[in-house]
Chains A and B, each alone.
Chain A
Amino acid sequence: AQSVTQLDSQVPVFEEAPVELRCNYSSSVSVYLFWYVQYPNQGLQLLLKYLSGSTLVKGINGFEAEFNKSQTSFHLRKPSVHISDTAEYFCAVSDRSSASKIIFGSGTRLSIRP
């Protein structure tokens, strides 16, 4: 079984400041890792994914994440945030062998202050 822990429920940050959203996972098998974003009253949009290869993954909207196998972490970063980045961010995993269901964390609300 897999589980995902997002360590911060809310992260306030000033516009143009850097941000890091933390994610740790637990799994007895190899997994794929994802970050999704959910804007108010909308569905989920894939930001980036780690399947294999380079541990630094670049996604849309200037976001990137680094897979750390020894620490079982997959933290999301952006060097300079914009007001439009205000949203809920979800870290997620899925089992490589079946790649069917996705297990989500509880989410981190990113609020950008002008």
Chain B
Amino acid sequence: DAGVTQSPTHLIKTRGQQVTLRCSPKSGHDTVSWYQQALGQGPQFIFQYYEEEERQRGNFPDRFSGHQFPNYSSELNVNALLLGDSALYLCASSFRGTGLSHEQYFGPGTRLTVT
């Protein structure tokens, strides 16, 4: 049973560019959450997708957007990259039904470096 997978593992972008990160949830999960983890800090919640809609959002600007597909996979898009967007981006999946939505399983992350 594959866990949460993310791609790519690493990438380097230049300021002002746009980037797309991808996440496939654990089998049986229907909800995807995205977190940003800056170096030396704890993860910060960006947003959560369920039924292809953004359900909850953290304190991140509109440059951060997302999408969820019918197969529950998700993308995180960041426009107009800033140096401060350099971080590890973590995807977490969960199953909204039967009161298990608190059980989030994390992927290995995508390390984004903005130069």
Q: Which residues of A contact B (CB under 8 A)?
A: 4, 32, 36, 42-46, 49, 51, 90, 92, 94, 96, 98-107
Contacts and interface: CB of A to CB of B under 8 A. Distances in A.
Contacts of A107: 40-42
B44 A43 contact: no
A34 to B, nearest CB: 8
A106 B102 contact: no
Given A43-B90, A45-B106, A90-B43, A100 B58 contact: no
Nearest to B46: A101
Contacts of B66: none
Contacts of A42: 108-109
Given A43-B90, A98-B56, A104 B102 contact: no
Contact of B55 (A4, A92, A100, A106): A100
Interface of B: 4, 33, 35, 40-45, 48, 55-56, 58, 90, 92, 99, 101-109
Contacts of B102: 32, 49, 51, 94, 96, 99
Instruction: Pick the 4 closest A-B CB pairs, nearest first.
Output: A104-B42, A99-B102, A101-B45, A44-B106
A43 B106 contact: yes
B56 A43 contact: no
Contacts of A46: 103, 105
A90 B42 contact: yes
B41 to A, nearest CB: 6
Contacts of B90: 43-44
Nearest to B55: A100
Contacts of A105: 42
26 contacts: A42-B108, A43-B90, A43-B107, A44-B43, A44-B106, A46-B103, A49-B102, A49-B103, A51-B102, A90-B42, A90-B43, A92-B42, A94-B102, A99-B102, A100-B48, A101-B45, A101-B58, A102-B35, A102-B43, A104-B35, A104-B44, A105-B42, A106-B41, A107-B40, A107-B41, A107-B42
